[in-house]
Amino acid sequence: MKSIAILGAGNGGASMGAYLSLKGHKVKLYDKFVEVIEPIQAAGGLKLKGISLNGFATFDKISTDIKEVIENCEFIMVVTPAFAHKELAELCAEHLEDGQIIVLHPGRTGGALEFYNIVKKKNPAAKVSIAEAQTLIYACRKTGPAEATIYGIKKKVFVSAIPSKETNKVIEKLNELFSEFVPAENVIETSLLNFGAVFHPAPSLLNIARIEFKEDFEYYHQGISPCVGKVLEKIDMERIAVARAFGVKTLSTIEWLKEAYGIKNGDIYNVVQKIKVYSGIKAPKSPTARYITEDVPMSLTPISELGKLAGVATPVIDIIIRMASIMHNTDYRKKGRTLKRMGIDKFNKDTVLEYVNGG
List the domains of the chain with CATH numbers.
Answer: 3-191 (3.40.50.720), 196-345 (1.10.1040.10)
Encode 16-35 in three state secondary structure.
Answer: HHHHHHHCCCEEEEECCCHH
pLDDT value for 258:
87
- pLDDT per residue as tens digits for the range 33-73: 999 999 999 999 999 999 878 999 999 999 999 999 999 99
Q: What secondary structure letter does DSSP report for 218?
A: B
Where does the chain have alpha helices with state H? 11-22, 34-43, 66-70, 85-93, 111-122, 167-174, 187-191, 196-199, 201-206, 208-212, 226-246, 253-261, 268-274, 290-293, 295, 301-310, 315-328, 332-335, 349-358
247-282 burial, b if ≥16 CB within 10 A, otherwise e?
Answer: ebebbbbbebbbebbebeeeebbebbbebebbeebe
pLDDT value for 125:
95
At 145, the amino acid letter reads P
Distance of CA 292 to the CA centre of its chain: 14
Under 8 Å between Cβ of 358 and 187: no
**In angstroms, rounded to a whole number, what is the distance separating the alpha carbons of residues 224 and 30?**
34
Q: Could you tell me the pTM of the whole model?
A: 0.92
Residues of the chain with pLDDT under 50: none
Residues taking part in catalysis: 200, 295
- pLDDT per residue as tens digits for the range 232-287: 999 999 999 999 999 999 999 999 888 878 887 789 999 999 998 888 889 999 99
